[in-house]
Chains A and B, each alone.
Chain A
């Protein structure tokens, strides 16, 4: 089974600080897509950032950036200048494009004022 592993069930960060969430995955494919989704307590899942495996450049979306290490099959999410609204469950996911999303178990991020 092609799995996605998030080794940190819970993380906390002080407001305005930086936090990194870890994700590793298993795949035999050379072409695939990786995602970080955010699920706030209201439960609506939203896409935070995405990375195409064929792109060497790490994706960035405002305060959110990834560290994509293809050889190590690692895809971590860095949140800079953390805000109270960043508190949520964060899920790492992957797909080959024609296959369903496979999610990690999630990391619950708390932001401390």
Chain B
């Protein structure tokens, strides 16, 4: 069965703190894709990153970094030096190979206070 778990419902940090959002997934497929999306109050899902199951390299993009570990079925997302504009709900999603629908986690609401 496919499943995505985001155990952290809400996180509150003060600006400039680093914060890590956890994502654990379950799948029986050997080919799959993992995604992170940001959902600001406006509601639109904003794409952040895509990773396929054959690429375990960690990635850094500005203040964002992602740690993909197949051994623990985790795909964690770290924001370095958080800013108020990072406040949003963040979703992790799983898509199995050959079928482009997504299984979303329940989301983590991040509040960054000045």
User: Are A and B physically bound partners?
Assistant: no
